[in-house]
Amino acid sequence: MNKPTVQDIFRCFYPAYLEKYSPSPEQAKVARNILNCKTGAYGANVSVCEDCGAVQIHYNSCCNRCCPMCQAVPKEMWMDARREDVLDAPYFHLVFTVPDILNPIIYNNQKLLYDTLYHAASATIRELTADPKHLGAAVGYICILHTWGSEMNFHPHIHTILLGGGLTSKNEWKDNGTAFFLPIWAIS
């Protein structure tokens, strides 16, 4: 048996969800896009085999960045481009999250507070890595917002890929040469 797709889950449960909840216009648009992705609602392309004449229809995707049905290829292309950016140095994975009690506030103010979460993560990294106690250098990093937890619950958090070293004010490379980069107590 095939695993259900996100689209299958939306088809099955979204009508009942709408009876109980009122999604924002942005959320409703994403849901519509996911429901209609690769169904023919956005048109199709037809391929015809020149040898046997077999016809194959390829339905267009919704191109919504939140849709897992059509974002696999762009995601892989993004990851390939990031691989080209990688320096031959250690990297660390940091996760910035907020207490669950703030989730309803964040949910109702997503535009403002997602931006605030990015800025807080970035400021924390810059401040701590610039401090000579921790590194004393400017580092490179990539921050990625995730809004769902592993239980598919609303759980906004920022994943960060952090270069394990950086450039000093004299433009010299510096790393701390350890398995741990920043102490948890300092980040918390």
Q: What is the mean pLDDT of residues 70-76?
A: 73
Mean pLDDT of the chain: 87
Domain ranges of the chain: 6-59, 86-187
Q: What separation, in Å, do the N-terminal and C-terminal C-alpha atoms of the chain show?
A: 44
> Are 94 and 160 in contact, with CB atoms under 8 Å apart?
yes
> Are 44 and 57 in contact, with CB atoms under 8 Å apart?
yes
Beta-strand pair 154-167/138-148: antiparallel
> Are 42 and 61 in contact, with CB atoms under 8 Å apart?
yes
Q: What is the mean pLDDT of residues 156-165?
A: 91
> Are 158 and 118 in contact, with CB atoms under 8 Å apart?
yes
Specify the DSSP class assigned to residue 50.
T
The per-residue pLDDT for range 113-146, each reduced to its tens digit, is 999 999 999 999 999 999 988 889 999 999 999 9
The per-residue pLDDT for range 98-118, each reduced to its tens digit, is 999 999 999 999 889 999 999
Paired tokens of 111: 């535009």
Instruction: Give bridge partners of residue 120 from the DSSP assignment.
Output: none
Task: Tell whether the model's pLDDT for residue 1 goes beyond 70.
Answer: no
Reported as type and span, the H/E element at residue 160 is strand 154-167
Question: Using 50, 70 and 90 to split pLDDT, how confident is the model at 152?
Answer: confident
DSSP conformation letters of 20-72? H----HHHHHHHHHHHHTTTTTT-EEEEE-TTT--EEEEEPP---TT-TTT-H
Q: How far apart are CA 141 and CA 130, in angstroms?
A: 14
